[in-house]
Amino acid sequence: MRTLVYDFLYSEAHVQSAAAVLREHGAEIVGWLGRPHVGERITGHLPGVRFLPVPHPMRDLPLVDAKRIWEIAHVPTLFMLVERERKTGTNLGDVLEITRIYCHVVAVLDELRPELIVACDVPHNVFSYMLYVEARHRGIPMPFVKWGPMPHIVAVGMDLERGISDAFDAGRESPALVLSPTTQALLGRYRSDYKQATPSYMKDQKRNDRFLAYARKVLAAPGRYAQDYRFLRGGVAVAARRRLAAAYERVAVPFDASRGRAVCLFLHLQPERTSCPEGGIFAQQWLIAQTLSRLLPDHRILVREHPSTFRPGPKLLREVNDYQRFLEIPRVELLTLSGSPFEVTDFVDAVVTITGTVGMEALARGTPAIAFGSAAFVDCDGAFDARDPDQLAEAVTWVQERRRVPEGAVETYLSILEGSPHVYVCDHEDVIERFFDLASEGLLRSPVLAR
């Protein structure tokens, strides 16, 4: 099968691992897409495999089908991604950028004629998402690897809208008889106190969120940080996040259970693929708060910012005025970040997120979870996909009736997922550094490639 590969370029070992998996399934690798600076990992270790840089510096645009460009330009997620990555500033600039990338994708597909496109992660930048859109338009399958409901579980998906629901359905006939030890341990932590349940990446961020930690990073690699005055830009970014945190806390209030019934929207750190593209139009989380306020007139709408928003990290999409826009929605309250999130989770009638881990934590503690994106946990009893009008209506009923997650529902859901041939379960939790290995192993186990 003529196969086009996107990414898997974390290291030479990951390249070779992914190539071995594909060739084991009889794939003919006709091309490999990736960022220009890692091209040598392909040309140096896989002779004969053509490397294609992304994004391609295409300057002279060919004449294109205006109707097709119009169709693509009206995919909301693409405009969000263009705004996030390019900031062209004008409608024409956005359309030109979309057209340029579309022409690049079309040129690659027309020349290489792949029968299969394999991606190591959810398509989440302008190019990979455009590749996904055009592949579906042409009927070319594009399996990708996606995190499951817990950080040690990865699954192979085919449809961004469905997330890992197809993988879940494939496990219904042969659920795991016993949950893996890592899953059991994580469930225990989710059901204990938040200090034990805090994700590893957030613990690392907290440790590094200090001036001395930043200074050590600069001193350890002075050449890299001196380039383009990166150390100054990093310092400015840290200062901006400090100002944003101060602005948030000025308008936030402590959690108060005595003030009546509530649901809580836990915001996502942005930009991240977990909100765009996985949230579609609801990547703009203000729309979620609006929807909740409209559907639940007797509930307070609590909104809690993601702590990582105020810590050093990638490009930031929040502004001080954003919080005021939330407060203009009836019955919305911003919650201070002091105190345990589990105190809120255990009180509210539902936890609301796009795709966040807070949803899985809530389910484990018996609180219903409402997802406004392709969350990994939506197939669990007590979880709802708010993009489906029927499920959203059912979620509102659960909230109004104060229903709780049935006992054993989470264990049943996870056993089905762990029994799926489309799912790979790691034997330890901290797998971020091994993601590309897991992607290869997940693809190896999945029948998707065998088709």
- CATH for 65: 3.40.50
The answer to whether residues 331 and 344 touch, using CB atoms and an 8 Å cutoff, is no
Whether residue 109 sits in one domain with residue 214: no
Which of residues 84, 112, 142 is at a domain's end?
142
**pTM beyond 0.85:** yes
Of 185-194, 403-412, 425-434, the one with minimum mean pLDDT is 425-434
Q: Contact, 372 vs 279, CB < 8 A?
A: yes
Same domain, 66 and 125: yes
194 and 342 in contact (C-beta within 8 Å)? Answer: yes
In this structure, are 259 and 381 located in the same domain?
yes
Give me the pLDDT at residue 432, please.
47
pLDDT for 433: 47
Could you read off the pLDDT of 144-165 as tens digits, one per residue?
888 899 988 888 888 999 999 9
242 and 108 assigned to the same domain: no
Query: Does one domain contain both 302 and 231?
Result: yes
- Does residue 111 have a pLDDT over 70? yes
Does residue 252 carry a pLDDT above 90? yes
Same domain, 265 and 388: yes
Confidence of residue 271 (pLDDT cuts 50, 70, 90): confident
- The yes-or-no verdict on residue 436 having pLDDT over 70 is no
* Greater model confidence, 194 or 298: 298
Report if residue 429 sits inside a domain: no
Query: What tokens appear for 382 in the block?
Result: 């007590």
Pair (125, 221) in one structural domain: no
Count of domains forming the chain: 2
CATH of the domain at 234: 3.40.50.2000
Beta bridge partners of 46: none
The answer to whether residue 439 sits within a structural domain is no
- Write down which residue in 89, 117, 142 finishes a domain: 142
422, part of any domain: no
72 and 188 share one domain: no
| 197 in a structural domain | yes
Instruction: Identify whether residues 248 and 108 lie together within a single domain.
Output: no
Average pLDDT, the chain: 84
Main-chain phi, psi angles of 145, to 5 degrees: -105, 135
Q: For 51-63, how does the pLDDT look when each residue is reduced to its tens digit (9 = 90+)? A: 988 876 556 666 6
Q: Tell whether 328 is covered by a domain.
A: yes
**pLDDT-derived band of residue 310, with 50, 70 and 90 as boundaries?**
confident
Task: Classify 74 in phi/psi space as left (phi over 0), alpha (psi -120 to 50) or beta.
Answer: alpha
- Please report whether residue 279 resides in a domain: yes
Q: Is the pLDDT of residue 195 over 70?
A: yes
Task: Please check whether residues 86 and 199 belong to one and the same domain.
Answer: no
Mean pLDDT of 210-226: 61
For residues 118-133, give the mean pLDDT.
Answer: 89
Mean pLDDT is lowest, of 64-73, 256-265, 389-398, 413-422, for: 64-73
Helix H segments across 302-446?
320-327, 341-347, 357-364, 389-401, 409-418, 435-445
Judge whether 298 and 183 are in contact, CB under 8 Å: no
Are 43 and 91 contained in the same domain?
yes
Tell which residue, 240, 249, 430, has the closest CA to residue 335: 249
157 lies in some domain: no
Q: Sorting pLDDT into bands at 50, 70 and 90, what band is 86? A: low
Q: Domain of residue 53: give its range.
A: 2-142
Mean pLDDT of 307-313: 81
Does 225 share its domain with 345? yes
pLDDT at 9 over 60: yes
Helix, strand, coil shares of the chain, percent, nearest 5, are 50, 10, 40
Position 126 in a domain: yes
Could you say which of 112, 142, 172 is where a domain stops? 142
What is the token pair recorded at 417?
């997922």
What pLDDT, in 10s, does the model give residues 284-305? 999 999 999 999 999 999 999 9
pLDDT per residue as tens digits for the range 330-353: 999 999 999 899 999 999 999 999
